[in-house]
Amino acid sequence: MSPDRPSWVEGRRALRLAACLGMALPALLGALSCTSSRGVTTLRFWAMGREGEVVVDLVRDFEREHPGIRVEVQQIPWSAAHEKLLTAFVGRSTPDVAQLGNTWIAEFAALQALEPLGPFVAGSRELKPADFFPGIWATNVVDSVPYGVPWYVDTRLIFYRKDLLLRAGVSRIPDTWAGWLEAMRALKRAAGGKRYAILLPLNEWTQPMILGLQAGSPLLSEGGTRGDFHGPEFSRAFRFYVDLFREGLAPPVANTEVANLYQEFERGYFAMYITGPWNLGEFRRRLPQHLQGQWTTAPLPGPSGAASGLSMAGGSSLVLFRASKHQQAAWSLVEFLSRPEQQARFYRLCGDLPARTEAWQDSALASDPELRAFEIQLGRVAPWPMVPEWEQIAIRLQDQTERAVRSSASPDSVLAELDREVDRMLEKRRWLLSRRRALPGEQPRSSR
């Protein structure tokens, strides 16, 4: 107590201080967690799955380059990531920077949880949109505003048995749907019995959706407020897909009904499989030595040739959260992790394919013959519609696809029902957009 003041003055000051501390304690603790007494900025970085383990090596190099910044990496399982991010947003405890699956960007942008990155990108000397695969960059843009920077990429193409194709008189995967269909028929004739040309698991929605993209379907219409699956483009693609089962070229099974995919590929139960880059390592580890060299990869055929052979633009991005108090420092981390040499190093650590095109010149990628097809395919990818409801819509397509294949339901009736379901899902979106049109001049807000 000060000897110059009466005790009641000191008591009143103590009460006021206690009240202020009670109200400010959460904010004070948050500030202390972000900045040390020595003035070192601490960033909270959330990363998912295996990436959360290996990125620590890259982060330590970032800290050496930026001695005034310390990065706390929190690894989050993919199975819990979406719920944890939403809970953090509601509780106002989001990290500074995070890895975000690019199909989640529209959802978190709609919540206004993410910081628009236009000003950061425009002022960056480290990166620009042209440095990335165009279709991949597009997955980060909502209403012409970038909300993420691609970190690593994912897509789908064909893994196939070269020896089985040659035995059927087919030297390579054709570029067109018509040629591909004839190749599959030739494979079926050569294999006979309970063997098939291609495995298209009924619990994977990506294959019919990719064919729809290839056929020119927008998938959604009227500004992403209604389904367009019954439209002529998707209908054409869906009939092509369903006919593969009805001709006996693909088995009507989910992948849970295939005891061991790699053993079945080895014994020739199927000769082609549309899958993603993680299976490069799995095929090399799980297939026997005598089959190594007898399988490879190829870009997807398209309705009218190679250029129309689109695939999905998947992967993860790096985002800044709007509530971050250290956005410039967080952006420095995003720039660092986006450098070509860091993306090539990240590939060496965990096998994730780089989003930055220059990184593909690294010897670890350029010398891998199976990766060449992925590089080509990534130049022919397109994003899914950027709406928060997309994953729900995709699951409904999966359900209706299985119905069309396993029952006698016609493709037209199935797609008409799918559009009705999607329209119901998007009813709130239509209402919100109509309200937005009534408020002219509204723009994405930035906290900068």
Which of 105-114, 391-400, 434-443 is predicted least confidently? 434-443
Q: In this structure, are residues 262 and 283 in contact, taking their beta carbons and an 8 Å threshold?
A: yes
DSSP state of 116: P
- Tokens matching residue 213: 């993209």
The CA distance from 56 to 47, in Å, is 10
Q: Quote the mean pLDDT of the chain.
A: 91
Is the pLDDT at 7 greater than 80, yes or no?
Answer: no
pLDDT at residue 164 in the model: 98
315: left (phi over 0), alpha (psi -120 to 50) or beta: left
Is the pTM of the predicted complex or chain greater than 0.85?
yes
Q: Tens digit of pLDDT for each residue in 217-262? A: 999 999 999 999 999 999 999 999 999 999 999 999 999 999 999 9
What does the angle CA 275 – CA 276 – CA 279 come to, to the nearest 5 degrees? 90
The CA distance from 8 to 169, in Å, is 99
pLDDT band with cut points at 50, 70 and 90 for residue 436: confident
DSSP readout, 26-53? HHHHHHHHHB-TT--EEEEEEEEHHHHH
Is the pLDDT at 445 greater than 80, yes or no?
Answer: no
**Which residues, at least 6 apart from 156, have a Cβ–Cβ distance to it below 8 Å?**
206, 207, 210, 274, 275, 276, 300, 311, 312, 314, 377
Q: Tens digit of pLDDT for each residue in 370-414? A: 999 999 999 999 999 999 999 999 999 999 999 999 998 999 999
Is the pLDDT at 343 greater than 60, yes or no?
Answer: yes
The distance between the two most distant Cα atoms of the chain, rounded to a whole number of Å, is 102
pLDDT band with cut points at 50, 70 and 90 for residue 35: very low
pLDDT at residue 37 in the model: 43
pLDDT at residue 342 in the model: 98
pLDDT band with cut points at 50, 70 and 90 for residue 435: confident
